[in-house]
Chains A and B, each alone.
Chain A
Amino acid sequence: MAGDDLRHIADVDRVIHEPARLLIVALLSAVREADFVFLQRQTGLTKGNLSSHLTRLEQAGYLRIDKGFRGKIPQTVCSLAPEGRAAFKTYRAQMRRAVGGSAR
């Protein structure tokens, strides 16, 4: 029984499982969209690090990135794609089962 629950850990989505990306996805799950400055402040990541994680999420089809300008200042706006929301929901369910299983 515990083995079945723990097996879910091996099946978790590695794209989301990475801590920094998990935090990005968790933040974006609560909003319609947010920009780079907000994500950087909330995650505490460097610009380069955040940028590479956003690209990884975009490549996985979990994230939409719109690059534009606010006045003359560049602005990158990110939002979770429906695939990203679904993947995050699945990930949370898997982790809940795995953590609940190991706690028993």
Chain B
Amino acid sequence: MITQVEQAPRTAFRYSYDDGLVEIGTGLLFLTLAALFAVEGLAPAGSLPTGFSAFGLPVIVIGGMIVLGLALRAIKERLTFPRTGYVAYPRPAPARRILAGVIGAGVSLVLVLLLAARPSWQAALAALQGAALAVVWLAFSLRTGLVRMAVLGFVALGAGLVAPFAGLESSLGSALTFAVAGASALLSGALVLAHYLRTTAPSVEA
């Protein structure tokens, strides 16, 4: 009982990942980013698509997260809440959101400045992206206790490390990293969703 009570907050937090929808959405977002990097990497030098990521990346990341949030909410309303119940989580405090934004912008700025100062480091960009994705997945794994998220982190890290050795540098390396991370998240989410739908049924209160 004591363990059950101690685990209750984590159980409540983990509930939002029980249906696999977050992983499916994240996978789709990563695959879109992979497509963006692939178009940029395959386009002839000097052509319009070579500058895609400069403006396309923030648009896809910010816009994608907004669309993803709305879509997830709508799908959960129809699929998850009738089966296993409705839960709403507290919104992070404004100060915490601002801090997260500042840290994200700071890391991006340092990365851009480093790459501008040492263009040869572009070869390691995919590895850095893979490491960043791994850190995020591992943080979620620790918070939720879900091992599959740690596995997704190691897959992303592996893809990032393999890209430079496969001769894929810069945009194409990033495309490979995000494609593998996206496909693995999509597959994981689809398997979890299939299991969730198989093992739950809509229930009513009265």
A→B interface (CB under 8 Å) = 19, 22-23, 26-42, 47, 70, 73-77
Q: With contacts A37-B84, A38-B87, A39-B85 known, is A30 near B206, CB below 8 A?
A: no
Closest B residue to A95 using CB positions: B2
List chain B residues, Cβ under 8 A from A47: 205-206
Contact B85 A31 (CB under 8 A): no
**A79 vs chain B, min Cβ distance (A):** 9
Contact at B205–A26, with CB atoms within 8 Å? no
B5 pairs with A37, CB closer than 8 A? no
A19 touches B1 (CB 8 A): yes
Neighbour of A35 across the interface among B1, B10, B85, B90, CB < 8 A: B85
Q: Separation in Å of the B42 CB from the closest CB of chain A?
A: 45
Indicate if B82 sits at the interface (CB-CB under 8 A).
yes
Given contacts A23-B8, A47-B206, A70-B81, A38 and B86 within 8 Å (CB-CB): yes
Within 8 A of A (CB), among B61-110: 81-82, 84-91
A74 and B9 form a contact (CB under 8 A): no
Q: Which residues of B contact A32 (CB under 8 A)?
A: 88-91
Contacts of B47 in A (CB 8 A): none
* 10 closest Cβ pairs, A-B complex: A38-B85, A30-B9, A26-B8, A37-B85, A30-B12, A35-B86, A32-B88, A34-B87, A26-B5, A32-B90
| Cβ 8 A contact of B205, one of A27, A42, A75 | A75
Count A-B pairs with CB separation below 8 Å.
85
CA–CA, A37 and B85, complex, Å: 5
User: In the complex, A52 Cα to B71 Cα: how many Å?
Assistant: 36
How far is B4's CA from A72's CA once the two chains are assembled, in angstroms?
Answer: 34
Quote the shortest CB–CB distance from A17 to chain B (angstroms): 11
- 28 sample A-B contacts, Cβ–Cβ < 8 Å, listed by A number: A19-B1, A23-B4, A23-B5, A26-B8, A27-B12, A30-B12, A30-B13, A31-B89, A32-B88, A32-B90, A33-B86, A34-B12, A34-B88, A36-B205, A37-B81, A37-B85, A37-B204, A38-B85, A40-B85, A41-B85, A42-B11, A42-B85, A47-B205, A73-B82, A74-B205, A74-B206, A75-B205, A76-B205
